[in-house]
């Protein structure tokens, strides 16, 4: 009996020490937590996933990828003269190269998701500034025409009590095909800042939101005719991708740290948000819906690491102080994303059949396509973007 106690005491002592230090740190050093301490996360709002199937490699070089066409500058480029090349492994046609032409220099900011409207105006979410717009010159206009101007159309939203709330982290955008309304997400009240190299670090802000657990994300709507912004949904655990269906009867949006797809009904009969799908193979990011068929797609940039799963499975009295402690460590020590790339094809429930994942395309170890953060469906093909890669997957 004494031997068993001695064998287990070191582990218990270490665990107790970590909890005590984390608890004291949370109570006595609030100045080290500029974004506030971690809060309780109810079980139904904690991230949960399903295991990754290592035999499903359907996303590996499915059609190819546009290679070395993107950079880290805030610029809009066009891709032309696409050609198929042979990669180093000798796989014919797996690499597509393209000529790039700079269309607009966005200037200061960190553009993320965007969509064009009927008038060739690109609405895009800027994680630093808010919702912005740039209208491209019409075909046939002379090269001497003035360069397109970037407009900041929404940086705050008026709440029901008359106060103004800043849009701290605009993330993704979609446009209603019927009304032209702009639906976009405000991921968190934590602002994006720069890392030690001077680059905007959107990933760090997202990690802080997830670890903190306050669910401050929102789904917003901008009406171009009036310039008004209204709040459709709140309490989202890092609001991310957004997509409108072809009839504009609902909007889908991602709650990243719940590993869930949410549905907001736009008609008066049903109204309000509901969770329609969860338990994916990893965290979710971008969304897109086809305008031809009732199918949508969700980007899965990373699977859940064992460390993350363990932290979020802890009881609140243990997990909360530990998560507060994690918010204070240097950003270079934070948990790194697991190498993975995936896209889930989604059937949204229609009253006859329930919502479900119909197909899963994935690169289970991220060998060819990893960190897929954006997906766009066009003419039967999926175009896959990423915050980290220097190519577009096709």
pLDDT in tens, 37-77: 777 777 777 666 556 666 665 556 555 554 444 445 667 77
Q: Is residue 166 within 8 Å of 156, Cβ to Cβ?
A: yes
What pLDDT is recorded for position 58? 55
What pLDDT is recorded for position 66? 47
Interval 165-216: pLDDT, tens:
999 999 999 999 999 999 999 999 999 988 888 888 899 999 999 999 999 9
Q: How far apart are CA 100 and CA 67, in angstroms?
A: 11
Q: What is the mean pLDDT of the chain?
A: 82
Indicate the range of 88-102, 221-235, 250-264 predicted with least confidence.
88-102
What pLDDT is recorded for position 87? 54
If pLDDT is split at 50, 70 and 90, which confidence band does 25 have? Answer: low
Q: Give the closest residue to 237 by CA, choosing from 220, 219, 211, 256.
A: 256
Checking if the pLDDT of 4 tops 60, the result is no
Q: Give the closest residue to 303 by CA, choosing from 351, 372, 253.
A: 372
Q: How far apart are CA 382 and CA 388, in angstroms?
A: 18
Q: Express as a percent the part of the chain with pLDDT over 70.
A: 77
What pLDDT is recorded for position 352? 81
Give CA separation, 294 vs 15, 205, 336, in Å.
50, 33, 35
- Domains annotated for the chain, with CATH where assigned, are 33-393 (2.120.10.30)
Mean pLDDT of 101-113: 77
Stated pTM of the model: 0.83
What pLDDT is recorded for position 198? 86
Mean pLDDT of 93-118: 77
Q: Give the closest residue to 310 by CA, choosing from 10, 7, 15.
A: 15
- Give 78 or 7, the one with higher predicted confidence: 78
Mean pLDDT of 313-335: 90
What pLDDT is recorded for position 390? 74
Mean pLDDT of 88-97: 57
What pLDDT is recorded for position 174? 96
Q: Give the closest residue to 25 by CA, choosing from 300, 347, 229, 324.
A: 324
What pLDDT is recorded for position 5? 46
DSSP 8-class letter at 256: G
Q: How far apart are CA 35 and CA 206, in angstroms?
A: 12
Interval 261-293: pLDDT, tens:
999 999 876 667 899 999 899 999 999 998 877
Checking if the pLDDT of 6 tops 50, the result is no
If pLDDT is split at 50, 70 and 90, which confidence band does 90 have? Answer: very low
Checking if the pLDDT of 81 tops 90, the result is no
Region at 351 (left for phi over 0; alpha for psi -120 to 50; beta for the rest): left
Give CA separation, 76 vs 65, 130, 240, 261, 375, in Å.
18, 17, 21, 29, 17
Checking if the pLDDT of 149 tops 90, the result is no
């Amino acid at each position: 009996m004494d031997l068993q106690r001695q064998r287990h005491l070191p582990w218990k002592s270490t665990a107790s020490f970590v909890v005590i230090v984390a608890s004291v740190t949370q109570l006595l050093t609030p100045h080290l937590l500029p974004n506030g301490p971690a809060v309780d996360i109810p079980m139904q709002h904690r991230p949960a996933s399903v295991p990754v199937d290592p035999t499903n490699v359907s996303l590996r070089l499915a059609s190819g990828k546009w290679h070395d066409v993107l950079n880290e500058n805030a610029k809009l480029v066009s891709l032309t003269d696409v050609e198929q090349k042979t990669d180093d492994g000798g796989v014919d046609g797996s690499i597509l190269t393209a000529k790039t032409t700079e269309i607009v220099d966005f200037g200061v900011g960190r553009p993320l998701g965007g969509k064009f409207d009927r008038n060739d105006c690109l609405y895009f979410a800027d994680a630093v500034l808010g919702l912005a717009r740039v209208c491209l010159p019409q075909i046939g206009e002379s090269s001497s025409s003035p360069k397109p101007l970037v407009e900041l159309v929404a940086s705050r939203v008026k709440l029901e009590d008359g106060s103004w709330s800043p849009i701290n982290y605009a993330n993704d955008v979609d446009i209603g095909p019927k009304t032209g309304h702009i639906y976009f997400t405000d991921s968190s009240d934590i602002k994006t800042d720069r890392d030690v190299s001077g680059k905007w670090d959107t990933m760090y802000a997202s990690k802080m939101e997830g670890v903190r657990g306050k669910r401050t994300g929102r789904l917003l709507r901008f009406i171009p005719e009036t310039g008004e912004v209204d709040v459709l949904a709140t309490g989202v655990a890092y609001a991310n991708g957004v997509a409108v269906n072809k009839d504009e009867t609902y909007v889908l949006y991602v709650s990243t740290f719940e590993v869930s797809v949410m549905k907001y009904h736009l008609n008066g009969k049903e109204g309000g948000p509901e969770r329609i799908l969860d338990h994916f193979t990893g965290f979710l990011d971008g969304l897109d819906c086809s305008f031809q068929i009732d199918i949508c797609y969700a980007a899965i940039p990373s699977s859940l690491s064992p460390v993350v799963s363990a932290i979020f499975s802890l009881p609140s009295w243990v997990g909360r102080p530990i998560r507060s402690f994690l918010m204070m460590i240097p950003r270079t020590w934070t948990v790194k994303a697991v190498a993975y790339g995936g896209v889930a094809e989604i059937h949204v429930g229609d009253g006859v059949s329930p919502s479900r994942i119909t197909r899963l395309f994935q690169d289970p170890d991220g060998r060819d396509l990893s960190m897929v953060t954006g997906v766009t469906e066009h003419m039967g093909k999926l175009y896959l973007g990423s915050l980290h890669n220097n190519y577009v997957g096709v």
